[in-house]
Chain A
Amino acid sequence: MTNESLTRDVPPNRDLIEERLVVWYFLASIAYLFISMFGGFVMAFQLIRHNPFNGIELLSPGRWRMIHTNAVAYGFIANAFLGNLHWIVPRLTLRPVLSRPLSYLIFGAWQIVVLSTAGGILLGEAQGLEWGETPVWIDPVAQLGLGLVAVNFMAPILKIKGPMYVTLWYFLAAFVWTFLTYAMGNFVPQYFVCGTSAGAVGGLFIHDLVGLFVTPLGWGSMYFFVPILLKKPIWSHGMSMVGFWGLAFFYPLQGIHHFLYTPIPMFLQYGAIVSTIAVEMVVLTVIVNFFGTLKGSSRALATNLPIRWFFTGMVFYAITCAQCALQTTLTFQALIHFTDWVVGHAHLVMFGVFGQWLLGIMTYLFPRLLKTEWASPKLCEWHFWLSAVGLFVMALDLTLAGLFQGWSWAALQPWDASVEISQPFWIVRIFAGIAMFTGQVLFCVNLWKTWQLSPLNVAAVFSGEPSGVSHRTV
Chain B
Amino acid sequence: MLESKAGIMLIAGLAFFGLAIAGLAFFGLAFVSNAVVPALMYQDLPELAVENLVNGNLRYQFEDLARRYPDSFEKAYGKPPEEVAAREKWFNQKTADTLRLGRKLYVGEACWHCHSQFVRPVSNEEQRWGPVSRSYEYQNELQRPVMFGTRRVGPDLSREGGRRSNDWQAVHLFKPTSLSEGSPMPQYPWFFDGSPDKPNARGLAVLTYIQWLGSWLESYPYYEQYQPAPLPAEVPNSKPNE
Contacts and interface: CB of A to CB of B under 8 A. Distances in A.
B14 interface: no
Contacts of A61: 186
Given A194-B139, A338-B150, A338-B151, A262 B133 contact: yes
Interface in A113-142: 121, 124-130
B6 to A, nearest CB: 12
A409 B123 contact: yes
Contact of B108 (A126, A208, A262): A126
A125 B108 contact: yes
A255 interface: yes
B184 to A, nearest CB: 5
Interface stretch (B140-148, B214-222, B223-231): B140-148
Contact of A195 (B113, B144, B149): B144
Interface residues on B, range: 35 or more
A8 interface: no
Contacts, number: 215
Contacts of B10: none
Interface residues on A, range: 35 or more
A66 B42 contact: no
Contacts of B12: 161-163
A203 B150 CA distance: 10
Nearest to A62: B110
Contacts of A420: 182
B86 interface: no
Interface stretch (A173-181, A288-296, A306-314, A451-459): A173-181
Contact of B110 (A65, A338, A409): A65
A183 to B, nearest CB: 11
A128 B112 contact: yes
Secondary structure type dominating chain A contacts: helix
A57 interface: yes
Interface stretch (B19-27, B68-76, B233-241): B19-27
A272 B37 CA distance: 13
A271 B31 contact: no
Interface in A251-268: 252-253, 255-256, 258-259, 261-265, 268
Interface stretch (A28-36, A46-54, A361-369): A46-54
B38 interface: yes
A51 B187 CA distance: 10
- In the A-B complex, the 7 residue pairs with the smallest Cβ-Cβ separation, listed nearest first, are A195-B138, A252-B30, A62-B110, A124-B108, A194-B144, A334-B122, A261-B120
16 contacts: A63-B110, A130-B113, A173-B23, A188-B35, A194-B144, A195-B47, A208-B30, A248-B23, A252-B31, A261-B121, A263-B138, A335-B123, A338-B152, A343-B151, A410-B123, A420-B182
Interface of A: 46-49, 51, 54-55, 57, 60-63, 65-66, 121, 124-130, 161-163, 172-173, 176-177, 180, 184, 188-190, 192-204, 208, 212, 245, 248-249, 252-253, 255-256, 258-259, 261-265, 268, 271-272, 333-335, 337-339, 342-343, 406, 409-412, 415-416, 419-420
